Chains A and B, each alone.
Chain A
Amino acid sequence: MLHAELVPLRVKVNGEWRELEVEPRLLLVDLLRDRLDLTGTHVGCDTSYCGACTVLLNGRSVKSCTMFAAQAHDAEITTVEGLASDDELHPLQKAFAENHGLQCGYCTPGLLLSAADLLSRNPNPSDAQIRKAIAGNTCRCTGYQNILKAIRAAAAALAPR
């Protein structure tokens, strides 16, 4: 049995730098949920399929169940808790609520961050592009149509007037 040695980790989570020591096998999602108490990031399949654990790593969506926390050294992580500012929901969150883009809500944090990655690269995506962008996020309630609608609405809300 190997002695678990700790690795120093400096990571910016939702705008705040954190310095801590982690066991190398600690997954990023477990760092967020168990060490930093950011339980908005969910674990669904735990096998890199469902996308419930999606967070942004330096602005790009990744599955946090398939990355070690130690690998996020010097990186910026955005979780669903980092989307809203003060009491104001993020336009994506608003659009999901207004368009019934969720039912049970379990997959929603991951879908929001996948959508955030998409809109950061492509502010005006086609339906086909939205479908492809959320293909790594499984939702068992909605049938996706309202999620599509919500992302379209968020894109419109975010568009410069």
Chain B
Amino acid sequence: MFPPSFRYRRAGSLAEAVALLAELGPEAKAIAGGQSLIPLMKLRLARPAALVDLNFVSGLSGIERKDGVLRLGALARHGEIAAAAPASRIPIVQDCAEGIADVQVRNRGTIGGSLAEADPSSDWGAVLLALEGEVLVAGPAGDRSIPLDRFVLDAFTTALRPGELVREVAVKLPPKRSGGAYLAFKRSAPVYATASVAVQLTLGEDDACLDARIVAGCVGLVALRLPAAEAELRRKPVASRSIEAAAEAAMAAIDPPADLRGSSAYKRLLVGALLKRAAAAAVRRARGESVEVSHEYVAR
């Protein structure tokens, strides 16, 4: 299987990539890891007239922690993020990075490409929404920063203007006694998740929940922040009863589309179950425990 013909340009710098996209016009697309774009092109679901290859741009894959912010270069591969020491301070980022698809896809796929594609089943979309991340974009009119909740507008639709590129993702390091966890359920490693839940919460000294952010993935056109579920946790002592209430609120708030991955009712139950487990792991992490969670797809 091979895609339709296209023109191909390697960009050596971000400035060159922006210039090439402007020169090649609206039918041109940027390609990073290509792990979604290439299959779409092979199936003729995407037919860009030209590709600007970002893989030869240097300095775009840095992963660093500075001044209380984790900065992930657009070209950072999922696998690199999973293994990067600077990312280890935010365990929910590692939960996400090390469970996306399979090793081969994680070796190639990038965080910038994933965000720019804005697939409703994207893992990064859910996690970065829970972390209130910012997307730094570069374009013909210069750089600008867009909060994640205003970056992903709809399924496969972002706030990127023609010719703009994701340059970097920035996440503020969570405060002390904050913990998060991301759990996704999928039927096998290479496929998109059936449902996923990201929880990031912050505990006070008395173990009351000061802040909670809860996001469900794969169950709407975009990742869904769930304020009703968050309200069940916030300003209350963390207990299995409040977590149970948050799960109930989440299940009431969503209306997942039925598809080959499962019925609406099944996905709703899945979100409730994932939320409970993610919240429990987040609480333990907030208390300083080390807990391993990630995508699940095999019987244990």
Q: Verify B105–A48 contact, CB threshold 8 A.
A: yes
Q: Verify B107–A2 contact, CB threshold 8 A.
A: no
Q: Is B34 an interface residue (CB 8 A)?
A: yes
Q: Verify B103–A47 contact, CB threshold 8 A.
A: no
Q: Verify A136–B190 contact, CB threshold 8 A.
A: yes
Contacts of A117 in B (CB 8 A): 103, 107
Contact with A along B84-111 (1 / 0, CB 8 A): 0000000000000000011111011000
Contacts of B240 in A (CB 8 A): none
State the CA gap A132–B190 with chains docked (Å): 11
Interface size on A, residues (CB 8 A): 39
A71/B53 contact (C-beta < 8 A), A66-B34, A135-B297, A136-B190 known: yes
State the CA gap A132–B79 with chains docked (Å): 13
Min CB–CB distance B51 → chain A (angstroms): 7
Contacts of A63 in B (CB 8 A): 104-105, 108
Partner among B10, B31, B42 whose Cβ is within 8 Å of the Cβ of A46:
B42
CB-based nearest A residue for B108: A62
Contacts of B103 in A (CB 8 A): 61, 114, 117-118, 132-133, 135-136
Contact size range, B: 35 or more
A135/B8 contact (C-beta < 8 A), A46-B1, A61-B104 known: no
Q: Verify A4–B38 contact, CB threshold 8 A.
A: no
State the CA gap A36–B271 with chains docked (Å): 48
Q: Which of B33-68 contact A (CB under 8 A)?
A: 34-35, 38-39, 41-43, 49, 51, 53, 55-56
Q: Verify A24–B5 contact, CB threshold 8 A.
A: yes
Interface of B: prevailing SS: loop
State the CA gap A7–B6 with chains docked (Å): 11
Q: Verify B104–A23 contact, CB threshold 8 A.
A: no
Q: Verify A135–B102 contact, CB threshold 8 A.
A: yes
Q: Is A73 an interface residue (CB 8 A)?
A: yes
Contacts of B1 in A (CB 8 A): 46-47, 65
State the CA gap A2–B41 with chains docked (Å): 15
Q: Which of A39-83 contact B (CB under 8 A)?
A: 46-49, 51, 54, 57, 60-63, 65-68, 70-71, 73
Can you name 27 A-B residue pairings with CB atoms under 8 Å? Answer: A2-B7, A23-B5, A24-B6, A25-B41, A26-B2, A48-B39, A51-B190, A57-B107, A61-B104, A62-B107, A63-B104, A63-B108, A66-B34, A66-B39, A67-B34, A68-B8, A68-B38, A70-B8, A70-B10, A73-B10, A73-B56, A135-B188, A135-B298, A136-B101, A136-B103, A136-B105, A136-B189
